[in-house]
């Protein structure tokens, strides 16, 4: 059963700093939304089985892509649901 991600649902804002340059990283959304044009309409728990991160389903985590517009660093941050 899916939990609620505080970033996806607007309960909290992204306040992450780029580890390379120290500027604010922008939240680019869930990594599973980048899987294809219909991924936003698919069951989240099923997509978590194939997202390449073994803990997202079992630990109730939502993997978000963070991007630094200054140095172009990109990383995945696991958000606790």
Each residue of 7-49: pLDDT tens digit? 999 999 989 999 999 999 999 999 999 998 898 889 999 999 9
In this prediction, residue 1 has a pLDDT band, given cuts at 50, 70 and 90, of low
Q: Give the pLDDT mean for 1-6.
A: 80
Model pLDDT, residue 2: 61
Model pLDDT, residue 72: 98
Model pLDDT, residue 40: 82
Model pLDDT, residue 6: 95
Report d(CA 66, CA 58) in Å as an integer. 22
Residues 6+ apart with CB under 8 A from 71: 18, 20, 21, 23
């Amino acid at each position: 059963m899916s939990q609620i991600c505080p970033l996806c649902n607007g309960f909290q804002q992204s306040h992450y700093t780029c580890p390379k340059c120290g500027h604010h990283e922008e939240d680019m959304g869930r990594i599973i939304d980048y899987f294809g044009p219909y991924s936003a309409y698919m069951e989240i728990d099923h997509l978590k089985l194939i997202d390449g991160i073994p803990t997202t389903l079992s630990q109730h985590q939502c993997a978000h892509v963070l991007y630094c517009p200054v140095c172009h660093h990109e990383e995945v941050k696991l958000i606790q649901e």
